[in-house]
Structure 1
């Protein structure tokens, strides 16, 4: 009964770093495009549940939450704005140098300094007109409200969000790109990771050469060196790495005679092929080249190939070729990440790239509660010329979220069953 490979500190760190990076980049995409559109971002969070660390810079509170799953960018207007002001409520207001209200104090009025005006709130409008009317010492007074005014209660400050700073106050294209930027950032991350692999570890080529040689393997014992160009195998010319792989894999247990070119000198090298599950192995790897241009090409081509592979897998799920029992959830992915961490940094980086593409594609599915579902609502709004009722949209997303939670429970059970009962 194999257990998840979480016993290694290296595995645990790899899991935290990989998943933290994927979520951070995804949410950063949303955050940067929302800020560019002028949307007030109240919070940038990594994780879910109670806050365990927080700090505020500018208009945004940055938080780390207890449960290491997911994250969010809380944009003004995505949820109903706080309705904490009440008619005839006693408040204190602090004015800036132009006479606009910059702070509303909602409690502990007796402890406020003398320069804070105190009165009864008669009327207010904090989204479009930005005005407030108070009764101060028996006199009715009206004030303009600063667009970045703060509501202060129990020592906590919350910035107001005028309509033009809210998510719903932006154009359809601005909202579309703010939502689409999250999944897009995951594709960019995958490309960057794959380019990094190409730069650090080289780009595999199809040249008929010997790549890195595994010490103690058949090739190393026979005397093959990295960089040797293979001319023939058993007197048959070879012109590519794939031809070498084809000949070797079909020769388990046999001794093949390699003629190689090493620094202009041809050498004849007999190699005893290892039989591994009826497949021939000599324990060498692809030849690689180190080139920034090739690394960029490798990143682009491999990102495309991985995307096509994952899309095909998703399609097989919807067509019924793959069932829910075949899916893996968070537990299974954590387990695989820990295992790949043990196999080397290049393998872990490639796995992180695949996960990043998976996250991007999954979020683009046109399902409620996912980014793709929200994009569908925006497209419908653009076509009909007016937004869908926010209460109806909210209910659809709520039901979609409940479905996703149920799906996560199912695939998590699949993971646990495979780990403990397979």
Structure 2
């Protein structure tokens, strides 16, 4: 239950922040956002606010913001349709009822001759009792009601395609960007709570079952040399220790004004798909400062980004096995292991997942934000947009392939459980 709760909170937050980025910048550009969804599949909760339907859906596999004009518009009122109209105080059409008109006895019924809900914002037709053609103007926020479900019309200037290349690119890029921002915030909070590691060869904490405590080391001891090799930074010290698993090392230690030497045998830490490392059971010393914590948030986010990009590069060049990829089941298991290590480790894990989500979404693959940005970039180069239908086919195929990859990775996760 604890793992499940951690997964729901972390992934809910990551998806919410990602989609919120899309939503905010799309609305700033004047795009009508029809729906903000967390999850896919059937709706389990929804409410409408400021033109947008907010939903939580059954399958927790991501989320989306449905922008008007991003896909083929669903509102189609063709000649010959019989519809009912209601009007606002200014005499503009506020509702177009396409069926179940009997539930709206006060509506004006017409047979449609022409309707334009994007550019001219008009509807023309013949009333039942009159043969003359009558034209009505539409309110810019008029609703088309089908099966008692309203959908707001989208004038062309409220549609995704009407915006500049820069506005559209920013609305798409904002999702991954918010994941990087979230990682910075999480890691800044981590540093404020736990403190920032100090890059000095000073013992911050000694574990209860390590070689260091058996050798008499305590918090505050400064390691000045190992086997005669001088060390001043934490990286220098740990590099020597990690390279010597199950070996005896001689440490020169400074405690206050007293200098002394201790010998200890390193323990072995096994690492999957890598050489074992030596450890002695010490942690770095830490310090706390507000500005330093912010700096730590940015630098650690950069480091996580660099490491993940390097891993993707190894995957592309075949130096990294697909078996090492983790799907939903694998991430669930890892989250359970991290949760058992404490809230601070969970903070770091959430930041890594957030950075990973941002990077993966920026890959130039169809159906991902990076693929959509690629099409916008091609439009900027060509000076005209790609045929929307062709782009839609590419994204559909890309989405199908991504789902197949997700299934393959999930199957691998399940197999790993029984190895």
Match of 1:206 among 199, 209, 218: 199
Which position in structure 2 is the counterpart of 1:135? 126
358-367 or 158-167: which moved more?
Answer: 358-367
Alignment of 1:77-226 (within 5 A): 77-114=69-106, 116-136=107-127, 137-138=129-130, 139-215=132-208, 217-220=210-213, 224-226=217-219
- Cα 1:247–1:305 change in 2 (3 A) is closer
Alignment of 1:30-41 (within 5 A): 30-41=22-33
User: Does residue 1:340 correspond to 2:334, yes or no?
Assistant: no
Counterpart-to-counterpart distance in 1, 2:310 and 2:13: 25
State whether residues 224 and 269 of structure 1, in contact with CA within 8 Å, keep that contact through their aligned partners in structure 2.
Answer: no
Counterpart-to-counterpart distance in 2, 1:192 and 1:303: 10
Post-superposition CA distance 1:71-104 (Å, at most 9, x none): 1001111221124423233322121121111111
User: Does residue 1:295 correspond to 2:293, yes or no?
Assistant: yes
Shift of 1:246: 5.0
State whether residues 78 and 115 of structure 2, in contact with CA within 8 Å, keep that contact through their aligned partners in structure 1.
Answer: no
Post-superposition CA distance 1:116-142 (Å, at most 9, x none): 323322221110000112323304321
State whether residues 226 and 252 of structure 2, in contact with CA within 8 Å, keep that contact through their aligned partners in structure 1.
Answer: yes
- Cα 1:362–1:251 change in 2 (3 A) is closer
State whether residues 22 and 174 of structure 2, in contact with CA within 8 Å, keep that contact through their aligned partners in structure 1.
Answer: yes
Which position in structure 1 is the counterpart of 2:273? none
State whether residues 212 and 284 of structure 1, in contact with CA within 8 Å, keep that contact through their aligned partners in structure 2.
Answer: yes
Alignment of 1:57-68 (within 5 A): 57-68=49-60
Counterpart-to-counterpart distance in 1, 2:313 and 2:236: 33
Shift of 1:232: 6.2
User: Does residue 1:261 correspond to 2:255, yes or no?
Assistant: yes
Unaligned runs of 5+ in 1: 1-8
1:375 counterpart SS class = helix
Post-superposition CA distance 1:7-38 (Å, at most 9, x none): xx221111111111111111111111111111
State whether residues 253 and 274 of structure 1, in contact with CA within 8 Å, keep that contact through their aligned partners in structure 2.
Answer: yes
Counterpart-to-counterpart distance in 1, 2:390 and 2:21: 27
1:328 counterpart SS class = coil
1:285 counterpart SS class = strand
1:369 counterpart SS class = coil
Post-superposition CA distance 1:331-352 (Å, at most 9, x none): 2122111111111222222122
Shift of 1:231: 5.4
- Cα 1:372–1:359 change in 2 (3 A) is same
Counterpart-to-counterpart distance in 2, 1:239 and 1:412: 45
Post-superposition CA distance 1:42-98 (Å, at most 9, x none): 110011111111111120011111111111001111221124423233322121121
Unaligned runs of 5+ in 2: 270-275
Normalised TM-score (structure 1): 0.89
1:211 counterpart SS class = strand
State whether residues 107 and 154 of structure 1, in contact with CA within 8 Å, keep that contact through their aligned partners in structure 2.
Answer: yes
Which position in structure 2 is the counterpart of 1:286? 284
Normalised TM-score (structure 2): 0.90
Match of 2:16 among 11, 21, 24: 24
RMSD across aligned positions (CA): 2.4
16-25 or 54-63: which moved more?
Answer: 16-25
249-258 or 342-351: which moved more?
Answer: 249-258
Per chain length, whose mean CA-contact separation is higher, i.e. which structure has more relative contact order (CA < 8 Å, sep 6+)? 1
- Cα 1:395–1:242 change in 2 (3 A) is closer
Shift of 1:227: 3.1
Q: Say how many residue pairs are matched.
A: 410
Shift of 1:161: 0.6
Shift of 1:245: 3.3
